[in-house]
Amino acid sequence: MDMKVSKKKLGLKEKYQHMTRGLGWETTYQSMDDVFPFVKYEGIKIHDWDKWEDPFRLTMDAYWKYQAEKERKLYAIIDAYAQNNGHLSVTDARYINAVKLFLNGISPLEYMAHRGFAMTGRQFPGVGPRVACLMQSLDEIRHAQTQIHSISNYNKYYNGFHEYRHMLERVWYLSVPRSFFDDAVTAGPFEFMVAIGFSFEYVLTNLLFVPFVSGAAYNGDMGTMTFGFSAQSDEARHMTLGLEVIKFILEQDPDNLPIVQQWIDKWTWRGYRVLTLVGMMMDYMLPKRIMSWKEAWEVYFEENGGALFKDLARYGIRPPKWLDQIEQDKDHISHQAWATFYNYAAACNFHTWIPTDDEMDWLSQKYPNSFDKYYRPRLEHWREEAKKGNRFYNKTLPMLCQTCQIPMIFTEPGDPTQICYREVDYKDNKYHFCSDGCKEIFEHEPEKYIQSWLPVHQIYQGNCFNEGVDPTAEGFDPLAAVLDYYHLNFGRDNLDFEGSEDQKNFDEWRGMATKNV
Amino acid sequence: MSKVFIALQTNDDTRSIIQAIMADNPHAICNEQPAMVKIDAEGSLTVRRSTIEELIGRDFDLQELHINLISLTGHVDETDDELTLSWNN
C-alpha cells in the first residue's frame, strides 16, 4: 500500500477527544429516561459516560479511510479469483461444504450483529460508546455484504448456497446460530455488549476466524481467505472494544459485578455451544488441516482466555462457569457433531462423508484419548455399511435442547458413552437440556426460553409444511414435505458427498481446466 | 507472565512491520502460519512507528496497522508513536 500520511494537526488522543466528546446533550423537551428507555432496567449503574475510552482512538474520518482501503483490496482479489476460476483450485470439492456452512450459518449472524450494534448504540446516552457501536455496526454489515459477494461466486457452480435467507428461518441446524443471535439482540443493551462485544468477539471469535480462515488459505480458497481476513481486521478492533466494555462497566459501580459475571457465564457457554459447528469444520471438513479443534481451543481459549480472566480478577471477575466440562469436551464435541450431520445428511443443505484412512490417522494422532476408542469404530462401521449399499440416513427427529437448540448429542462430563440429559418442570411443561450450562441459563430466564422456536417441535406440530400440504393424505412422506418447505433440492443439495453432483462437476471441470477437451 | 499476541496478514506491507516488531521486542516469538504471522510475547509487546519508518523509508501512521491486522490480545495503549499490548499480570 502506498498511502500518503499527512502531517497531523492534532495528536491521536486530542483528536479522539474532540471527535467523541461534547457531541451529546441533556434533553429538555423529553426526559432522558424517555429518550433512553432501556439503559436502566438491567440494573447496570453508570455514573460517568466520559470515562469510556476507545484504546485505538479511532475516529470516523480515519475509519472511512482505512475501511475504503480494505474494500479496494478485497474486491480486487475477489475479481481476480472469480476471473481465474479460483473455485477449481481448492484442495477438493469436499472443502466447499465448509463454505456452505459458513454462508448459511455465519453470514446472516453478521447482519444480525449489524442490527444489534445499531440498536445498542441508539440506547446509550454516552457519546464514546455510541461512536464505537456505530463503527461496529457498519463493520458488521460490511462483513455480511462481502461474504455474500465472495460466496456468490460458489453459488454459480455448486449446490446448497441458493436460499440461505429462506433456510435460516427454517432448516433445523440453522436454528442453533440464529437463536444465539436472536437471544443476544432481544437482551438489553448492556447484556448485548457483554454477549457479543466481550464473550463472543473477545473470547471466542479468534476460534472462528483465525484457524478457519488460515485453513481456507491452506486449502487454496483465496475468496474465503480474503473476506475472512478482511473481516478479521475489524475484529481486532471489536475485541478491544469488548474488553473496554467490561472494564468500563466494572469500574463504574461495584454493584455491576454480579450482573456482568452472570452474563459472562451465560454467553461464554452459549457461544461455546455454537462453536461446535466450527470444531467440526476444522476437524472434518478441511481436506488439508491446519490445526485440530482441540489445539485451536488450547491456544485461543485456554491460553488467551486464561490470561484475560487472570487480568480481570482484579475487578472480582472469575473465569466463566462450566470450564471443567469444557476442558473434557474438547476431545469429543467435533466428533459428536460430525456424526450427527452424517446421520442427518438427508436433511442438510451440504454434504457429509466418512474421512479417508489418512484423515482418520490424523484424527487419532490429534485426539489420542478419544478418537480410536470412541469415534473411529463408528465411522468404520458406517463406511462398511455404505459399501454394502446401506449408507445410513437417520429419519427419526432428535430431541433438542431448549436453550442452545442443538440435538441432544453431547455426553456426560466424565463418561463419553452416556448422552447427557437434563430436564426442568416449568408451568406444567417439561423442558429438556443438553447440559448443566443450558439448564441453568433456562432457569434464570424461563419466560424467554419457553418461547424458543424449536425446529423439531415445529415439524411435529405441522408448522413446517408448505401451504396446502395434507399430512393425513395416503402415503404422506414427512421428510419430503419438510425438505420442500426448506426449498432444499433432494439429491442435489443433500445426501453423501460420494456420488453428489458437486463431486462430479468439480472433477469434470478441474479436468477441463488442466486439459484441452 | 501471561502472553500477548498480534497476528498480521502475510504480505508486502507487513514484511517490514513484522521485522520492526521483532527488532523492538527481542523476547517475542514469530510463528508463521498459512497466510498469516502470529507474534507471541510474554508480558507486553510494542509496535514502534519510528522503527517501521526506518525500514520502509516513508512516513507511517500506526493506524495503517488496521488494514492488515488479524487479531490481538491484551490491553491496547496507542499513541502517535507506539502501540503497546500488555496484561496486568
With cut-offs at 50, 70 and 90, classify the pLDDT of residue B43: very high
The pLDDT, as a whole number, for residue A1 is 55
Taking one residue from A and the other from B, the number of pairs with CB-CB distance under 8 angstroms is 110
Interface membership of A136 toward B (CB under 8 Å): no
Residue type, A243: L
With cut-offs at 50, 70 and 90, classify the pLDDT of residue A30: very high
Residue A19 belongs to a domain? no
Residue A206 belongs to a domain? yes
Q: How far apart are the first and last CA of chain B?
A: 6
The pLDDT, as a whole number, for residue A204 is 79
The pLDDT, as a whole number, for residue A7 is 64
Interface membership of A311 toward B (CB under 8 Å): yes
Which cell numbers in the block locate residue A369? 484419548
With cut-offs at 50, 70 and 90, classify the pLDDT of residue A8: low
Tell me how close the Cα of B14 comes to any Cα of chain A, in angstroms.
Answer: 10
Residue A107 belongs to a domain? yes
Q: For residue A12, which residues of chain B lie inside 8 Å, CB to CB?
A: 63, 78-80
pTM: 0.92
Q: Report the chain A residue with the minimal C-alpha distance to residue B81.
A: A12
8 Å CB contact between A351 and A502: yes
Residue among A107, A186, A66, A157 at smallest CA distance from A451:
A186
Interface membership of B34 toward A (CB under 8 Å): yes
Q: For residue B47, which residues of chain A lie inside 8 Å, CB to CB?
A: none
φ/ψ (deg, to 5) at A199: -65, -40
Interface membership of B8 toward A (CB under 8 Å): no
A77 Cβ neighbours under 8 A, 6+ residues apart:
A222, A223, A226
Domain count, chain A: 1
Strands B69-72 and B36-42: unpaired
The pLDDT, as a whole number, for residue A236 is 84
Residue among A298, A321, A317, A301 at smallest CA distance from A309:
A317
Residue type, A341: F
Which of A311, A312, A315, A317 to substitute to test the interface with B, most B CBs within 10 Å? Answer: A311
H or E element, residue A11: none
8 Å CB contact between A195 and B56: no
Interface membership of B32 toward A (CB under 8 Å): no
Q: How far apart are the first and last CA of chain A?
A: 41
d(CA A76, CA B11): 15
Residue A70 confidence (pLDDT) above 60: yes
CATH code: domain of residue A418 = 1.10.620.20
Measured between alpha carbons, how far is residue A67 from residues A74, A488, B33 in Å? Answer: 10, 37, 25
Q: For residue B59, which residues of chain A lie inside 8 Å, CB to CB?
A: 5
Determine the angle formed by the axes of helices A256-274 and A436-444, rounding to 10 degrees: 130
The pLDDT, as a whole number, for residue A201 is 85
With a pLDDT cut of 90, the percent of chain A lying above it is 74
Which 3 state secondary structure label does DSSP give A59? coil
φ/ψ (deg, to 5) at A461: -85, 0
Instruction: Give A100-129 as a DSSP string.
Output: HHHHHHTHHHHHHHHHHHHHHHHH-S-HHH
| C-beta atoms of A290 and B7 within 8 A | no
The pLDDT, as a whole number, for residue A3 is 67
Q: State pLDDT tens for residues A14-29.
A: 888 888 787 788 999 9
The pLDDT, as a whole number, for residue A4 is 67
d(CA A324, CA A328): 7
The pLDDT, as a whole number, for residue A517 is 65
Interface membership of B26 toward A (CB under 8 Å): no
In our burial notation (b when 16+ CB lie closer than 10 A, e otherwise), range A3-30 reads eeeeeeeeebeebbbebbeeeeeeeeee
d(CA A287, CA A353): 12
8 Å CB contact between A411 and A323: no
d(CA A493, CA A501): 9
| C-beta atoms of B36 and A214 within 8 A | yes
The pLDDT, as a whole number, for residue A60 is 84
| Residue showing cell 484504546 | A55
Q: For residue B88, which residues of chain A lie inside 8 Å, CB to CB?
A: 311, 314
d(CA A321, CA A325): 9
Residue A516 confidence (pLDDT) above 80: no
Residue A376 confidence (pLDDT) above 90: yes
8 Å CB contact between A200 and A305: no
8 Å CB contact between A26 and A32: yes
Domain count, chain B: 1
Q: For residue A304, which residues of chain B lie inside 8 Å, CB to CB?
A: 3, 5, 73
Residue A134 confidence (pLDDT) above 60: yes
Which of A2, A3, A70 to substitute to test the interface with B, most B CBs within 10 Å? Answer: A3
Mean local confidence (pLDDT), B37-60: 96
Which cell numbers in the block locate residue A271? 457461544
Residue among A237, A316, A309 at smallest CA distance from A268:
A309
The pLDDT, as a whole number, for residue A5 is 67
Which cell numbers in the block locate residue A218? 491452506
Residue A40 belongs to a domain? no
d(CA A42, CA A260): 10
- Nearest Cβ partner for B69 among A233, A308, A310: A233
Q: How many C-beta neighbours within 10 Å does residue A80 have? A: 13
Tell me how close the Cα of A248 comes to any Cα of chain B, in angstroms.
Answer: 13
8 Å CB contact between A426 and A447: no
Strands B82-86 and B75-78: antiparallel
| C-beta atoms of A12 and B80 within 8 A | yes
| C-beta atoms of B67 and A215 within 8 A | no
Residue A39 belongs to a domain? no
Q: How many C-beta neighbours within 10 Å does residue A392 have? A: 12
8 Å CB contact between A300 and A289: no
Interface membership of B50 toward A (CB under 8 Å): no
Mean local confidence (pLDDT), B29-33: 93
ipTM of the complex: 0.85
In our burial notation (b when 16+ CB lie closer than 10 A, e otherwise), range A404-414 reads bbbbbbbbebe
8 Å CB contact between A337 and A277: yes
CATH code: domain of residue B31 = 3.90.56.10
φ/ψ (deg, to 5) at B81: -105, -25
Round the average pLDDT of chain A to a whole number and report it.
92
Q: What is the DSSP letter of A352?
A: B
The pLDDT, as a whole number, for residue A53 is 83
Q: In terms of pLDDT, which residue wins out, A10 or B85?
A: B85
d(CA A465, CA B38): 49
| C-beta atoms of B58 and A5 within 8 A | yes
Domain with B9 in it? 3-86
8 Å CB contact between A316 and A260: no
Tell me how close the Cα of A235 comes to any Cα of chain B, in angstroms.
Answer: 7
The pLDDT, as a whole number, for residue A2 is 61
d(CA A191, CA A172): 27
Residue A415 belongs to a domain? yes
8 Å CB contact between A196 and A184: yes
Lowest mean pLDDT among A99-103, A148-152, A227-231, A486-490: A227-231
Domain with A125 in it? 49-467+478-514
- Nearest Cβ partner for A225 among B35, B58, B69: B35
Q: Report the chain B residue with the minimal C-alpha distance to residue A229.
A: B70
Residue A165 confidence (pLDDT) above 70: yes
Q: In terms of pLDDT, which residue wins out, A211 or A149?
A: A149
Q: For residue A214, which residues of chain B lie inside 8 Å, CB to CB?
A: 33-36
Interface membership of B57 toward A (CB under 8 Å): no
Please classify residue A241 by burial: count the beta carbons closer than 10 Å to its beta carbon, then call 0-12 exposed, 13-18 middle and 19+ buried: buried
A407 Cβ neighbours under 8 A, 6+ residues apart:
A340, A398, A399, A400, A401, A456
| C-beta atoms of B67 and A55 within 8 A | no
In our burial notation (b when 16+ CB lie closer than 10 A, e otherwise), range B6-20 reads bbbbbbebbebbbeb
The pLDDT, as a whole number, for residue A61 is 86
Q: For residue B68, which residues of chain A lie inside 8 Å, CB to CB?
A: 233
Q: In terms of pLDDT, which residue wins out, A56 or A471?
A: A471
Q: For residue B80, which residues of chain A lie inside 8 Å, CB to CB?
A: 8, 11-12
d(CA A368, CA A362): 10
